[in-house]
Amino acid sequence: MDPLLKVNEAHKNGILSDKVHSLIVKRFGLVLEGIARIEKASGLHFPLAYIEPAVVISQPADSFDYGIFFARTIPVIANEKVEIIIQITAPLVAYGLKGTIHAILAHEFLHYLELIKRISKMEIISDEITGNLFESMYADTTRLFEPRAVFDDKTLLLHITKKFPEGFRDYKLEDKVIKNWIQKKLPSINVALDSNVVKIKADVLAKTKIDPALFAKIGEIEQRSSKLRKKKLY
């Protein structure tokens, strides 16, 4: 899978200008660097990832406020099995600082591990519905593994804790994306928070095989994460 396939197609079809396309391609190396860094810090392989040539926006009903999602972890059904893909938005690649890009990739990697854990335990995936952006961000942080249980990289951990204290916010990046992408009417994807539910049938989960080494590693991470959270409480 070519991570830049959709970006190159959007450029070929005139949806992205030469300038924007060149910027994304030029800065894509930061994504590759981040993936390599996460793999080294966790001892695990990063899942399939690709660059989406659009900004992803969610706006609660009856509100002028909206949230920008810079990356998403998406379970998809392929050949009656679950595949997990990381969708990285082009505006993040184009305008995000190196530390921000790496922090977001690491955060999505935590989502990936959480989904793998649920699949391995034959749990039907059904994330809670909320129409409030703050509630959604808070719920996002409470169900993931403790980052210190996953990553052996102090600088990466610092980036994660600075960017995700109670949900990701980077006002400078958001301002750049609004000015350089949204206001220029570049491609956008609108998703409703109240449709943020993923359900996978039990028979599909049963056909999805988890690599034994990954399964064992997640078990170790789960134990470390539990111990670290207990220390926080006491």
- Averaged over 180-197, what is the pLDDT? 82
The reported pTM is 0.85
Residue 78 β-bridge partners: 81
Task: Describe the strand order of the beta sheet including 48-52 as a list of residue ranges.
Answer: 48-52, 81-89, 71-78
Question: Which pLDDT score, from 0 to 100, does residue 118 have?
Answer: 82
Find which of 33-42, 106-115, 132-141 is predicted with most confidence, using mean pLDDT: 33-42
Query: What pLDDT digit, counting tens, does each position of 4-32 carry?
Result: 999 999 999 999 999 999 999 999 999 99
What is the SS3 assignment for 28-73? HHHHHHHHHHHHHHHCCCCCEEEEECCEEEECCCCCCCCEEECEEE
